[in-house]
Amino acid sequence: MKIISSRTHTYIGAVVGVVLVVAPWVLGFDEITAATASAVGVGLFVIVNEMLTTSPAAPLKMVPMRIHLVLDVVTGIFLLATPWLFRFSDEDANAWVPHVVVGVLIAGYALVTDTSDAVQAAGTDGLDTARRNNR
């Protein structure tokens, strides 16, 4: 069931990215290097990834929305696994639980996003027009 438009997905993703970037200081795990680096790193990746999609809300329109959604699922699974990959799962819950919860949410909202409102990637229209004209 696809219930989120790609436009809405982009807004959600941008907010999630910002939340991940500030989470170490808001939730008090900024002294745990691995937890902080993974939250900030994934947060920045999510923000950049949202700006590059072919969603109507994204400014650059370089990455087709369907590819973006696959990247989101992979990103969510990666974020979910970071407490064990980077060995901070034995820290207090405020350091690792947000990674797991937000990882599940990222993968989840990617799986319920409808791409029908996505537009063409930047620069592809000219190529498609040239191909049609050469036929």
Nearest to 70 by CA among 124, 102, 36, 106: 106
Q: Taking a C-beta distance cutoff of 8 angstroms, is the pair 46, 17 a contact?
A: yes
Residue 132's pLDDT is 41
Task: Give the pLDDT mean for 82-108.
Answer: 98
Parallel, antiparallel or unpaired: strands 113-114 and 4-5:
parallel
41, amino acid identity: G
Residue 89: pLDDT band by 50, 70, 90 thresholds? very high
Residue 121: pLDDT band by 50, 70, 90 thresholds? confident
More confident residue, 123 or 52: 52
If one counts every other C-beta atom within 10 angstroms of the C-beta of residue 67, the result is 13
CA dihedral 97, 2, 118, 63 (to 10 degrees): 40
Phi, psi for residue 101 in degrees, rounded to 5:
-65, -50
- Give the chain's mean pLDDT: 92
Please give the tally of structural domains in the chain. Answer: 1
Res. 123: pLDDT tops 70: no
SS3 state at 116: coil
**Percent of the chain as helix, strand, coil, to the nearest 5:** 65, 5, 30
Res. 53: pLDDT tops 90: yes
| Cα 101 to Cα 83: distance, rounded to the nearest angstrom | 12
Give pLDDT tens digits for 54-84: 999 999 999 999 999 999 999 999 999 999 9
Q: Taking a C-beta distance cutoff of 8 angstroms, is the pair 109, 9 a contact?
A: yes
Q: Find the domain containing 29 and state its range.
A: 4-133
